[in-house]
Structure 1
Amino acid sequence: MKTVKVKWKHLFFCLLGINGLLIALLFFYMFQPSSSPSIPTIEGEGPTFTVQTSKQHLNALVNAYIQKHEKKGQLSYDVQLADRLYIKSVLPVFGRPVDLTMAFDPVVDEHGHIVLAQPMMTFGQLRLPVPYVLAYIDKHASLPNWVKVDAKQERIYIVVSDIQIKKGFVLKAKTFDLSKDDITFTVTITK
């Protein structure tokens, strides 16, 4: 009888130790910094100009850029600015086209980049888990190098300062309010 109590106590403390180790590992990994994409901060020096545009003009500009730089065999998509920013695509499923629609609320961060947040994604009429769709887009879509997808944080970063408009010019977003059709960028001439 004594050996059964000793084995029971020994097994109990082993299980308690394993649980403690698992909790310690959980806390260790929970407080590690996330591996979000690196987004540069560029401080422009020189004269700065403000450029204001509308949703209609920016729609035309963005979609012309997408069509010009789209690669064959990649997932094609279309961007539409309305009450939210919509990214639309069509995926073939069993030989039939099915609409993939993503909606984002764009905000401007402190560095002048546009962050597409609070996503909603549908595949036909089915709502999809956002991290999986963003990971798929990051892997299969023909995205410019200034678009960074962070599937874990459920965000897309548009690093406006990486958009090459002309050497020596740095572009930053100032306002991006779709409800008021207030879209403003600053263009800084660097030294």
Structure 2
Amino acid sequence: MKNKWKMSFLILMVINLLTAIILFSLIVSPASSPDIPAKKGSNRDYVSFHVKSNKYDLNRLINHYLEQEVEDSPIDYRVVLNDEVELYGILPVFSDKINMKLTFEPEALKNGDLVLKQKSMSIGSLRVPISYVLSFIKENYKLPRGVEIRPSDKLIYVHMQELKLKSDMKIEAEQFDLKKNKISFTILVPVK
């Protein structure tokens, strides 16, 4: 009977000793950090965040951005989002000022850029060809970097990732449906 107790005690002591050694080695050994897998085809220098917005908030953001980016433009203009994108401006003609309104139908492209297709136009009571007005705007308005006016195609192309944002962030348009007030973007934040 004494040998059974001795043997049981020795087995229990060996199990406790092995458990202590294993726990000690796990505590002392450096932890390996798991690799965070990147999405296929994604840029590893950026982390993406998906943002949904509405017309009201986006109106405020766009016009704040325009004030910061084009404050020394000789022509005053602003953008309003309703069921379409509306560009209001004042054209100086001699000593007079003429009101201008252009409306565009927005379309988010698969590459994250945004196309504004010309829908309608009014410049005072004048009838002027759309391509002429877009050419005039292109030559006389100071536009933000990344905004390209294509008069012959009657559209404005917004290279979203070229827009100058703080902290080198980039932005991609996912959905831009103004009639349903469904607006979403992907914001790319640099991590390197």
Fold conserved between structures, TM > 0.5: yes
Cα offset, 1:65, TM superposition: 1.6
Amino acid at match of 1:182: K
Residues 133 and 167 of structure 1, relative CA distance in 2, 3 Å threshold: same
Which segments of 5 or more consecutive residues in structure 2 lack a partner in the other structure? 1-40
Identify if the C-alpha distance between structure 1 residues 126 and 188 changes in structure 2 by more than 3 Å, giving closer, same or farther.
same
Counterparts of 1:90-129 in structure 2, within 5 Å, are 90-129=90-129
Partner residue of 2:85? 85
The TM-score with structure 1 as length reference comes to 0.71
Which residue is 1:56 aligned to? 56
Partner SS, residue 126 of structure 1: coil
Letter in 1 for 2:143: L
TM-score normalised by the chain length of structure 2 = 0.70
Q: Secondary structure at the match of 2:144?
A: coil
Alignment correspondent of 2:171: 171
- For 1:37, the equivalent position in structure 2 comes to none
Task: Measure how far apart 1:110 and its partner are.
Answer: 1.6
Match of 2:135 in 1: 135
Asked whether the equivalents of residues 113 and 157 of structure 1 are also in contact (C-alpha less than 8 Å), the reply is: yes
**Change in 2 beyond 3 A, CA 1:167/1:92:** closer
- Cα distance in 2 for partners of 1:145, 1:82 equals 24
Equivalent AA in structure 1 for residue 180 of structure 2: K
- Contact kept, 8 Å, 1:134 with 1:151, in 2: the verdict is yes
Whole-angstrom distance in 1 between the partners of 2:147 and 2:90: 20
1:136-173 Cα distance to aligned partner (Å, 9 max, x none): 11110010111011111111011111123344533100
CA distance in 1, matches of 2:43, 2:134: 31
Structure whose CA Rg is larger: 2
Tell me the C-alpha RMSD between the 2 structures: 2.1
Distance (whole Å) between structure 2 residues aligned to residue 169 and residue 69 of structure 1: 16
Alignment length (residue pairs): 150
Task: Note the residue ranges of structure 1 that are not aligned, 5 or more in a row.
Answer: 1-41
The share of aligned pairs that are identical, in percent, is 31
